[in-house]
Structure 1
Amino acid sequence: MEVIGYISALFVGLIMGLLGGGGSILSVPIFVYLFGFDPVTATTLSLFVVGITSFVGSAGFLKQKLIDFRTAWIFGIPSILGVLFSRRLILPHLPEYIINKWGMVVTKDMFLLLLFSFLMLVASVKMIRKTERPFGRKENGNNYTILVSQGLLVGIITGLIGAGGGFLIVPALVMLLGLPMKRAVATSLFIIGMNSVLGFLSSMKMVEKDWTFMLVFTALSVLGIFVGIAVSKKIDSRKLKPAFGWFVLFMGIFIIVKEIFFKQITI
């Protein structure tokens, strides 16, 4: 299983390079189900891997001058506040048992994985949809207010379940500000990098870390993102999104079924 996990690290980077997000949608299940980490540790490791990989990937886009830094900061600063709120105030104070009444038991670990799987279902629907509403760039206060609020939401999600939120960020940048897809992907990677690295630094003391494992997994993901960026120049990422969306949908359903009905089964 560990060999499959290391091979999967390449796909984490590959998907991020192609779509500007989605790394954490793969990395968290990989850490939990292939390497056996508990969800809190898995989300923390995911923040490290996705953060470093995103920054490396955005460096390639930086040379092409595709990163919209003004938008990145407008979206990123509220996201950072959301990350700190989740990692410092919410996650450490979650009780071991979220629900333990009427014969229903939902542990902290189960709650985090179910919340994560819900995000996967939402992301899969966004990816599977073939129709996209055309939006032009509208620089008005209302759009930027929505962008700031969505940045805060993405930050809270990132901090809580280790998901970079790329599939929330890219649609927001395209639909609210009318950014071209490639510029939205580049800006998304930069925002994800900021959020994820900060989220990891703010929770380093919460988990035990195997730096050798983390660096090897991250190096493979970085290799994957370079491949993804190179391939994205030749393939329209919008054609790949539906296929990946169905895979994410399957994974989300798998996590829900396993956590609720087959908790004791390991793979």
Structure 2
Amino acid sequence: MDLAYSLSGFAVGLLVGLTGVGGGSLMTPLLVFLFGFKPAVAVGTDLLFAAITKTGGVWVHHGKHNSVEWKIVGLLALGSLPFALLTLYVLKHLSTAGKEISGVMTYSLGIALILTALALLIRSALLQRAKKLGQIDDDHSTEANAARFKRFHVPATILIGAVLGVLVTLSSVGAGALGTVALLFLYPKMTTVKIVGTDLAHAIPLTAVAGLGHLGLGNVDAVLLGSLLIGSLPGIWIGSHLSAKIPEAVMRPILASVLLLIGLKFVLQ
């Protein structure tokens, strides 16, 4: 089964490299439906998996492209990290009280997948709108002059972070696609590379805190985590190189449709 986990990690890594969609929306349903893991274990393991695999991406974005708006990362984290900890506290309390948390996590996972599918469908429209607005030059792309809500952009960003903190902790889904769409909406004039870099930088502390919290709850399978990492890293590398050869207009609607169907299955089961 270790080989099967690694092959699954490779397949998910390949799709992540091809589409740019976070592994959570692909990996967690795969672990639940194909391998029969409990939702809590699938979510907890995938969160640590995401924290490790995303670190390399931030190194590239910050070191080579200088494409991380660290102040926005801080604002998002100001909302997401406390709410992630609060969510973990609630899950621990429910577990200690003997209440089943699988149902809550399954439903949350379904909602997150549906939202991710919708985010994938509207992301292109938001990107086109940003281009029409005229993305500002990198040297002047501060969060203030790129923001949609001007003086309200600080509380709006913190609020988005809080929502992501709860959703990601419950489902491991949302830090990628939903975070990107939220930033595109809040900061329509920020360059695309900074949107991606900033979202990626925020996802690391969020998934790390949530993942370590789930580790403390006993929701992480160490053998599974190692096997997934062995397969996913080459998969992401190959997928990234193939991505230019497959039109985004073809891949994203197909992927969004699959995620929507899986999300509905989670919600309705």
- Same-fold call, TM cutoff 0.5: yes
SS at match of 1:154: helix
**Residue type of the alignment partner of 1:127:** L
CA separation in 1, counterparts of 2:36 and 2:101? 16
SS at match of 1:163: coil
Picking from 209, 213, 217, the partner of 2:224 is: 213
The question of whether the paired residues in 1 share the 8 Å contact of 2:45 and 2:221 is answered with no
CA separation in 2, counterparts of 1:236 and 1:122? 23
- Match of 1:125? 118
**Residue type of the alignment partner of 2:90:** I
- Match of 2:38? 38
The more displaced of 239-248 and 16-25 is 16-25
Picking from 237, 240, 248, the partner of 2:251 is: 240
Is the aligned partner of 1:159 residue 2:169? yes
Note the alpha carbon deviations across 1:136-187, whole angstroms, 9 max, x for none. 5237221232111000110111122222422221012222113222322222
The structural deviation recorded for 1:234 is 6.5
Residues 51 and 241 from structure 1, CA distance in 2 versus in 1: closer, same or farther, beyond 3 angstroms? same
CA separation in 1, counterparts of 2:193 and 2:246? 12
The question of whether the paired residues in 1 share the 8 Å contact of 2:12 and 2:23 is answered with yes
**Residue type of the alignment partner of 1:156:** V
Query: What does 1:101-116 align with in structure 2 at a 5 Å threshold?
Result: 108-116=101-109
Picking from 211, 220, 237, the partner of 1:200 is: 211
Is the aligned partner of 1:188 residue 2:182? no
**Residue type of the alignment partner of 1:131:** A
The structural deviation recorded for 1:59 is 1.9
Question: Is there any run of 5+ residues in structure 2 with no aligned partner, and where?
Answer: 134-145
CA separation in 1, counterparts of 2:41 and 2:180? 27
**Residue type of the alignment partner of 1:86:** T
Residues 201 and 28 from structure 1, CA distance in 2 versus in 1: closer, same or farther, beyond 3 angstroms? same
**Residue type of the alignment partner of 1:153:** V
CA separation in 2, counterparts of 1:69 and 1:213? 33
Note the alpha carbon deviations across 1:107-157, whole angstroms, 9 max, x for none. 531231122111111211221245337245237221232111000110111
CA separation in 2, counterparts of 1:30 and 1:190? 25
Question: Is there any run of 5+ residues in structure 1 with no aligned partner, and where?
Answer: 99-106, 261-267
CA separation in 1, counterparts of 2:243 and 2:30? 24
**Residue type of the alignment partner of 2:260:** L
**Residue type of the alignment partner of 2:37:** F
Is the aligned partner of 1:150 residue 2:144? no
The structural deviation recorded for 1:33 is 2.1
CA separation in 2, counterparts of 1:56 and 1:219? 15
Residues 9 and 165 from structure 1, CA distance in 2 versus in 1: closer, same or farther, beyond 3 angstroms? same
Q: Identity of aligned pairs, percent?
A: 21
- Match of 1:78? 79
Q: Scaled by the length of structure 2, what TM-score is found?
A: 0.80
The structural deviation recorded for 1:233 is 6.0
CA separation in 2, counterparts of 1:169 and 1:236? 23
The structural deviation recorded for 1:60 is 2.4
- Match of 2:143? none
Q: Count how many residue pairs are aligned between Structure 1 and Structure 2.
A: 249
Identify, as 1 or 2, the structure richer in helix.
2
How large is the RMSD of aligned CA atoms in angstroms? Answer: 2.8
- Tell which has more relative contact order, 1 or 2 (C-alpha 8 A, sep 6+): 2
CA separation in 1, counterparts of 2:104 and 2:191? 36
**Residue type of the alignment partner of 1:68:** E
CA separation in 1, counterparts of 2:172 and 2:12? 14
The question of whether the paired residues in 2 share the 8 Å contact of 1:128 and 1:243 is answered with no
The more displaced of 8-17 and 113-122 is 8-17
